[in-house]
Amino acid sequence: MRAFEYASPSTREQAVKLLGDSWDQAQVLAGGTDLLALMKDDVVAPKRLVNIKAISDLKGISYSASAGLRLGATATIQELIDHPVVREKYAALAQAGEWITSPQIRSMGTLGGDLCQRPRCWYFRAGYGLLGKGEDGQSLVVDGDNRYHAILGNSGPAYFVSPSSLAPALIALNATVRIYGPRGQRDLPVERFFMIPESDIYREHDLKPNEILAEIRVPSVPSGAKSATYEVRQKEALDWPLAAASAVLEISGGKVKSARVVMGHVAPIPWPSPEAEAALKDQPVTEATAAAAGEAAVKRAKSLSRNGYKIQLAKVAVKRAILQAARGGAA
């Protein structure tokens, strides 16, 4: 790891002033579970780390019926899992945290860090840039080992998958993020926080080098709304899933009044599926309708040379998330 400066501000204002105009100049340090690994592998080499864990107003989880859920950016994944209101009212979010099976990551990893973590694409992690290009400027992914790459939103040049465990559930729950920078704060839907970069000069998040993600807001869920998250993975030990889905259903009179279905780990961004939502509209939740929604969710999927199997796994994730949500989030 290369040498770096270390700063530990106590306010958001101080933190922003310590950040720079480029990612090479300074980066935010929260749980460090991703950033430090990137630095050790020499994928990134910021000259300064700005620790935000001492900033009190970035901590904690709170809830009110009128305002909904407030998640501080430096609250940990374990805090999320343990919070009684999250478990009771936001099952999809609690389950998304529970799918992160490492106690160490749960204890150290932060909610903001989960949203801001970089892709797990092995071309990116090996130093070939965010888009995984060779010296000739051509993608190494298309004709390379793309077993774990995107099946949606993969028309190029980005083929990595968004690694966030929490984002699909947050998007399905209509959450927003609050970002703080030198000009004050700005809010945007979590869905718009993620971006598909068109070149290596861009990032996969709507976050500038001199901004910090301060908190996440999740509105109160409508009475009777049910939600769940389901992941398909190779092993129960810590690993990133091959496909995931979060579903939020409003059911009235035995039929789906409205639905949100968002897939994870299948595209460069968390992938909402209006097709799956339309397939559920005004239908009872049965094995058949959940399977039909899964089929609809991958209608636009396009496999690369070695990841066609992920289309079937995405169908399964959507189907099981819907069925689980209809049961009130129970597995």
- Is residue 331 very low, low, confident or very high in pLDDT (cuts 50, 70, 90)? low
CATH number, residue 178: 3.30.465.10
- pLDDT of the residue at 330: 66
Look at the chain and report how many structural domains it folds into. 3
**Can you give the residue range of the structural domain that contains 258?**
231-326
Instruction: Express each pLDDT in 63-74 by its tens digit.
Output: 999 999 999 999
Q: Does residue 280 share a domain with residue 267? A: yes
Domain final residue pick, 20, 38, 54: 54
Q: Is residue 189 part of a domain?
A: yes
Q: Regarding beta strands 5-7 and 48-51, do their DSSP bridges make them parallel or antiparallel, or are they unpaired?
A: parallel
CATH number, residue 16: 3.30.43.10
Instruction: Express each pLDDT in 1-42 by its tens digit.
Output: 899 999 999 999 999 999 999 999 999 999 999 999 999 999
- Stated length of the chain: 331
Q: Does residue 252 share a domain with residue 310? A: yes
State percent of the chain over pLDDT 70.
99
CATH number, residue 287: 3.30.390.50
Q: Does residue 314 share a domain with residue 184? A: no
- pLDDT of the residue at 224: 86
Q: Does residue 255 share a domain with residue 182? A: no
- The arithmetic mean of pLDDT across residues 105-121, rounded, is 98
Q: Is residue 13 part of a domain?
A: yes
Q: Is residue 24 part of a domain?
A: yes
Q: Does residue 295 share a domain with residue 277? A: yes
Instruction: Express each pLDDT in 74-111 by its tens digit.
Output: 999 999 999 999 999 999 999 999 999 999 999 999 99
- pLDDT of the residue at 237: 84
Helix segments in the chain, DSSP class H:
12-18, 35-40, 77-82, 84-89, 91-98, 103-108, 111-116, 122-125, 167-172, 190-193, 274-280, 287-297, 309-326
Q: Is residue 19 part of a domain?
A: yes
Answer whether residue 185 shows pLDDT above 90. yes
Q: Does residue 307 share a domain with residue 186? A: no
- Is residue 266 very low, low, confident or very high in pLDDT (cuts 50, 70, 90)? very high
Answer whether residue 238 shows pLDDT above 90. no
Q: Does residue 81 share a domain with residue 23? A: no
- Is residue 176 very low, low, confident or very high in pLDDT (cuts 50, 70, 90)? very high
Q: Is residue 93 part of a domain?
A: yes
